Amino acid sequence: MKIVASSIKADPSLVSAPANRSPRLLETLLANLDGMVYRRREDESWAMEFISEGCLALTGYLPEDLLMNQLVSYEQLIHADDRHMVRARIAESLSQQSRFEIEYRIVRADGQLRWVWERGVGIFNPDGSVDALEGFIQDITERKESNQALLEAERRYRSIFENAIEGVFQTTPSGAYIAVNPALARIYGYRSPEDLIVSLRDIRHQLYVENERRAEFMRLMEEEGSVSNFESRVYRRDGEIIWISENARAVHDEAGQLLFYEGTVEAITERKLYEAEIRHQATHDALTGLPNRTMLHNHLQRAIQIPRQKSALTAVVFVDLDQFKYINDSLGHQIGDELLKTVAQRLVSCVRDSDMVARQGGDEFVLVLENQADENSITEVMQRILTAVAKPWRAGDREFHITSSIGISRYPTDGRDVETLLKNADSAMYKAKERGRNNFQFFARWMDTQVSNRLEMLVSLRQALDKDEFKLFYQPKVSIADGSIIGAEALIRWQSPEQGMVAPDRFIPFAEEAGLIVPIGEWVLRTACAQNKAWQEAGLLQIPVAVNLSPRQLDQSLPDFVRKVLTESALSAQWLELEITENVVMKDAEKTVATLNALKQLGLKISVDDFGTGYSSLSYLRRFPVDALKIDKSFVRDIARDADSAAIVKAVISLAHILNLRVIAEGVEDHEQYNFLRQNGCDEVQGYYFGKPMSVADFTLRLQQEQSSEE
Ligand SMILES: Nc1nc2c(ncn2[C@@H]2O[C@@H]3COP(=O)(O)O[C@H]4[C@@H](O)[C@H](n5cnc6c(=O)[nH]c(N)nc65)O[C@@H]4COP(=O)(O)O[C@H]3[C@H]2O)c(=O)[nH]1
């Protein structure tokens, strides 16, 4: 350091070495200083009187360049924006005769901007005026920049914290908030973060709807140090329950001591609702709101997997509505839908909350009843269901009745997997249909083989007509007054090469399903008319033959077809009677009345079959051109045992007579039933007591006997 060369008037305190030290030592000391020592005048341009070698490193100028402003003044080096501030601060310190410390920017010789820290003091003359300024200037750019970076990072963090859409929190492990951002306050419904911190002091009890969630949160924190996508239901300040998802971690100090938890909170109620909605749609039937086939399978799978109480049964119950197809086809889908909804509600009302009622599709419902003690308890539920479904229901101003056929399989006795249980319940349901509907059947092993033939049956039924495998049997109808034969009912049989003689109840429903009932029905009509004509031509007793009509046959083209058959067989219409089921009369009234009128005009008779099992009312019958009612055999069977059945039979007879209708009782099997019917004014009877359905040959014989007894 060229002390002398760089100083004009050296301050003895700075530049003159003590007598015992060499100036060389001072030179070295100053040169090693990381900064610049100066003495400058307190004038317009702060002219430097002394300046140490550090000047070059600090400013990029040689000390000589600044000395007495030879090249540039120090003031010029100060950033223009800071000059005023620097002067003001120094002036203030001088006025107080104190030291000054200032941070400001300078522009180096190479144009670089640097931050400097200056520490100095005024040197005063004895009269108090300022003689000079002495001090030290150091480059602090790096520190400034890292401070700046820190401030920037802090500012950014603050901004994220304050402006995040997600809630951000820090909590103590004991469950109090240390810090929260405005978003969390908003999510939880508090006025401000402060309001939340003050009001929500016990997270476990005040926040979580399920207290155990907090325990689970703590457990995960302890075991794994963090939670991710931790979903819970929480209370907002106003008590509303919302769903949140938390991501959080435990923060420890260097010694491993747990300090606090910090994390984020996302409000996910909408997503949850949406997910629930999607899940619901995927697992529920849109019409009835009941669980659908998918959910049924999952539920049943679970039900048979969980350990059950010893000897407890799980019942799988197939409920199928009788003649639903017919209602849907004839009354329209809207009414069909209404009916399905009504039935769904009724089924639900018959079982416990823990049982499942699902819609399997169409008019099929499946119930899963768990923990049933024995068959009796299942039977009780089934009886409730039969009664509930059979209750009348209204659509507009009309009242309807529908019944159901039910099949039940039991876990574990009837199957140990979902497929088998469902298949066997379905088989049992078909058995219930065959047994005359409106009843329930438990699965039995033998049904398995029969019903596995269902598909085969449909295939062979299609071929049966061509192969001439159908036969008609005839059952006598007898006058109650004198026991004479006054008619015959034609009943179809199927002589199947594989299955032997098949009863109509077993194949007519299939024929209806497969759309084969119309050609089969036409065959029956032709055959019965031709047979009756043949008996007449053989000189036997002239009686009407009754033919059963499936609802599906009863359309506008039927009268023409019947006329054609009568013409072909040359049978007079008075010797033909058509039996329609009770449900047919409920068919679209206008069209049905027109078709029945057209049929009546041909001169034949019409009777209503299975009366009492369906949903027609007597008064409704008034509108239909029918001649007779057939009381269903289920009432006749119970006449002696059941007061209700006896009362119904009596009422039907007298009301039918008021409407000028003949009454025929079906299924009369003994003398007691016959007596009862006779005493109560029934007109005709039919049943095993008077003759079973018999082949043409047998019936011919019967007619011949009848004729000879008359003669
Ligand atoms: N337990 C008992 N039963 C008796 C007695 N007397 C007669 N039966 C049976 O009762 C049924 C009466 O016929 P349905 O009610 O018209 O009921 C018929 C009818 O709805 C239908 N069906 C029969 N033939 C035809 C047909 O050609 N076309 C259509 N569409 N359906 C038919 O099949 C049903 C059943 O016919 P089947 O099995 O022949 O059964 C017949 C007959 O065999 C008795 O004293 N006791």
**Assembly ipTM:** 0.95
Same-domain check for residues 361 and 247: no
Is 4's pLDDT higher than 50? no
pLDDT beyond 70 at 584:
no
pLDDT, greater one: 24 or 694: 694
CA distance linking residue 186 with residue 54, whole number of Å? 57
For 422-431, the pLDDT digits (tens) are: 999 998 998 8
Kindly report the protein residue whose alpha carbon is nearest to atom 2 of ligand 1.
667
What pLDDT shows up at residue 1?
34
> In this structure, is residue 711 part of a structural domain?
no
The verdict on residue 278 lying in a domain is no
pLDDT, position 153: 80
Shared domain for 134 and 173, answered yes or no, is: no
**What tokens does 70 get?**
């030879």
- Provide the CA 420 distance to its chain's centre, in angstroms: 26
Within 6 A (CB) of ligand 1 lie: 475, 491-492, 503-505, 508, 521, 524, 548-550, 579, 609-610, 633, 666-669, 686-688, 693
The predicted structure's pLDDT at residue 48: 93
Report the distance separating Cα 510 and Cα 11, nearest Å.
125
Q: What is the pLDDT of residue 301?
A: 92
Assigned domain for 186 exists: yes
Residue 296 falls inside a structural domain = no
3-class secondary structure per residue, 115-153 = EEEEEEEEEECCCCCEEEEEEEEEECHHHHHHHHHHHHH
Tokens of 151: 């401030």
Q: Using CA atoms, how far apart are residues 300 and 132, in angstroms rounded to an integer?
A: 99
Contact in structure between 623 and 587 (CB atoms under 8 Å):
no
How far, in whole angstroms, is CA 107 from its chain's centroid?
Answer: 72
Q: Which two tokens stand for residue 31?
A: 């040169």
| 3-state class (DSSP) for residue 15 | helix
Nearest to 422 by CA among 515, 523, 512, 316: 316
> What pLDDT is stored for residue 617 in this prediction?
58
Verify that 460 and 420 share a domain, yes or no: no
Beta strand pairing status for 404-411 and 440-442?
Answer: parallel
Q: Is residue 43 scored above 50 in pLDDT? A: yes
User: Cα separation of 329 and 72, whole Å?
Assistant: 107
Tokens of residue 122, six digits: 């005024």
267: its two tokens: 């409000």
Query: What b-and-e string marks burial along 670-688, b requiring 16 or more CB atoms within 10 Å of the CB?
Result: eeebbebbeebebbbbbbe
Q: What value does the mean pLDDT take over residues 519-546?
A: 96
Q: What is the CATH number of the domain that holds 665?
A: 3.20.20.450
Of 452, 483, 499, the residue at which a domain comes to its end is: 452
Please indicate, yes or no, whether residues 628 and 481 belong to a single structural domain of this protein: yes
Same domain, residue pair 174 and 130: no
Residue 206, φ and ψ in degrees, nearest 5? -90, -25
CA angle 681, 684, 689 (to 5 degrees): 110
172: which 2 tokens? 């103590």
Residue whose Cα lies nearest atom 8 of ligand 1: it is: 667
Amino acid at 361: G
Tokens of 462: 């299609």
Residue 506: the pLDDT is 73
Q: Ligand 1 centre from 709 Cα, in Å?
A: 28
Residue 348 counted as domain residue: yes
Place of tokens 């002696």: 640
Distances (CA, A) of 514 to 223, 458, 462, 508, 520: 64, 7, 8, 10, 11
Query: Does residue 149 form part of some domain?
Result: no
| Encoded tokens for 88 | 């003001």
Q: Is 253 left (phi over 0), alpha (psi -120 to 50) or beta?
A: beta
CA–centroid distance, 492 to ligand 1, in Å, is 8
214 falls within a domain: yes
> Rounded to an integer, what is the distance from CA 269 to the centroid of its chain?
17
Contact residues for 5 (Cβ-Cβ < 8 A; gap 6+): 64
Average pLDDT, the chain: 87
Closest C-alpha to ligand 1, atom 10: 667
Between helix 418-434 and helix 445-452 the angle, nearest 10°, is 80
Output the residue whose Cα is nearest ligand 1's atom 24: 491
Q: Considering 452, 487, 514, which residue would you say is the last residue of a domain?
A: 452
Q: What is the mean pLDDT of residues 293-320?
A: 86
How far does the centroid of ligand 1 lie from the alpha carbon of residue 565, in Å? 23
Residues 103 and 229 in one domain: no
- Are 123 and 253 members of one domain? no
Q: 294 — phi, psi (to 5°)? A: -60, -50
- Which residue carries 């969390």 as its tokens? 184
Q: Residue 278: pLDDT band by 50, 70, 90 thresholds?
A: confident
> Which secondary structure element, helix H or strand E, spans residue 300, and what is its range?
helix 293-305
- The reported pLDDT for the residue numbered 2 is 35
Atom of ligand 1 nearest to the CA of 689: 45
Work out the average pLDDT over 492-498: 87
From the list 662, 650, 649, the residue with the least C-alpha distance to 621 is 662
Instruction: Summarize pLDDT for 58-109 with one digit per residue, the tens.
Output: 999 999 999 999 999 999 999 999 999 999 999 999 999 999 999 999 999 9
Q: Among 394, 421, 452, give the residue marking a domain's end.
A: 452
Cβ(462)–Cβ(439) below 8 Å: no
> Residue 280's pLDDT is what?
85
CATH (domain of 76): 3.30.450.20
Closest to 480 (Cα-Cα) out of 610, 673, 648: 673
pLDDT in tens, 331-370: 788 889 999 999 999 999 999 999 999 999 889 999 999 9
**Is 284 within a domain?**
no
449: left (phi over 0), alpha (psi -120 to 50) or beta: alpha
How many Å lie between the centroid of ligand 1 and the Cα of residue 705?
24
Q: Is the pLDDT of residue 561 over 70?
A: yes
Assess whether the previous peptide bond of 23 is cis (omega < 30° from 0). Answer: no
CA distance readout (Å), 506 to 138, 162, 298, 450, 451: 109, 77, 33, 10, 10
Q: Which of 465, 471, 472, 491 to mutate to test the pocket of ligand 1 (most atoms within 8 A of CB)?
A: 491
Compute, in degrees rounded to 10, the torsion defined by CA atoms 411, 414, 415, 418.
-70
Query: What percent of the chain stands above pLDDT 70?
Result: 91
Distance CA 537, CA 214 (A): 95
550 Cα nearest atom in ligand 1: 30
In this predicted structure, what is the pLDDT of residue 449? 53
- Residue-wise pLDDT for 124-139, tens only, equals 999 889 999 999 999 9
DSSP one-letter string for 657-679: HHTT-EEEE----SHHHHHHHHH
What is the pLDDT at residue 14?
41
Q: Which of 247-261, 401-415, 683-697 has the highest mean pLDDT?
A: 683-697
CA 386 / ligand 1 centre spacing (Å): 23
**Pairing state of beta strands 470-479 and 684-685?**
antiparallel
CATH of the domain at 384: 3.30.70.270
CA nearest to 282, candidates 290, 273, 292: 292
306, exposed or middle or buried, with CB in 10 Å at 0-12, 13-18, 19+? exposed
Integer-rounded Cα Rg, in Å, for the chain is: 52
19 band by pLDDT with thresholds 50, 70 and 90: very low
- Looking at the structure of the chain, the number of domains it has is 4
Let me know whether 341 and 384 are in one domain.
Answer: yes
Whether residues 575 and 660 share a domain: the answer is: yes
What pLDDT is attached to residue 589?
Answer: 67
Measured CA to CA, the distance from residue 4 to residue 1 in angstroms comes to 9
Q: Place 418 in a pLDDT band, splitting at 50, 70 and 90.
A: very high
| Res. 541 pLDDT band, cuts 50 70 90 | very high
Structural domain harbouring 396: 309-452
Question: Cα separation of 212 and 217, whole Å?
Answer: 9
Provide the residue count of the chain.
711
Q: Which residues are CB-neighbours of 605 under 8 A, at least 6 positions away? A: 544, 574, 576, 577, 578, 627, 628
Atom 32 of ligand 1: nearest residue by CA position: 548
Q: How far is the CA of 547 from the centre of ligand 1 (A)?
A: 11
Kindly state whether residues 462 and 585 are assigned to the same domain.
Answer: yes
Q: Would you say 313 and 411 are in contact if contact means Cβ atoms under 8 Å apart?
A: yes
Q: Are 437 and 460 part of one and the same domain?
A: no
Nearest CA to ligand 1 atom 19: 548
Do residues 228 and 324 share a domain? no
Q: Which residue out of 507, 548, 578, 639 has the highest number of ligand 1 atoms within 8 Å of its CB and is therefore the one to mutate?
A: 548
